[in-house]
Structure 1
Amino acid sequence: MWLMGTSSLPDDIDVFMNVIGQNVKASGGFVFEEKQLIKTEMEYERGRWLQVSPSALRDKCAAIGLSDAEATLVVGWLGNVHEGKHLRPDKARRDHRYQWPTP
């Protein structure tokens, strides 16, 4: 259950996904590190992600250059967050956290 009914992302999530897009472009693909960063942030910053609609996230994934299969993977993780399931990010990367801007 997400709180937003529109197809736009909250500003903080939009910025985060732009960073992911920059990382994907720099590394030449959606590599393990970016996947784990998304999973880590979804797991430990659930409150931010509960307000994200799957369609808005899918649109953003396409906008930053992820393939349909990659977008489906990310949106699937979001679905798990919405359902209260744990994502189990890689143990070695749990401490690598995104620095969310302070309001």
Structure 2
Amino acid sequence: MSVVLVSLPGAPKVTEEALKKEEDLDKYLESRVEELLGRFGDEGVPDLVSVLRSIATETVPNLPPGGGLASKRSVIEAMYNRLNLYREEEGVSSSV
């Protein structure tokens, strides 16, 4: 199967405002993931699903129209994997 993408000169361009909103959203999501990972207690480090559920209950600014939080799942997952310092211990009993 082949796909041909034609972009005409009058096609909409990515604006600086859109790029700024995307950057602000990514910074916000990173701060939320970091905060959620930083406040674990007796339950241990929250898993990715818990982090996603927690963020989904909030009003997140600048989410892309039509995609919502689901469109940022891969970004949140990458941040979670980068910030989760205890990921090697997942699956190990909490008696450590």
Common topology (TM > 0.5): no
- Write 1 or 2 for the structure with the bigger share of helix: 1
Q: TM-score category by the smaller chain?
A: 0.3 to 0.5
Q: TM-score, normalised by structure 2?
A: 0.39
Q: TM-score, normalised by structure 1?
A: 0.37
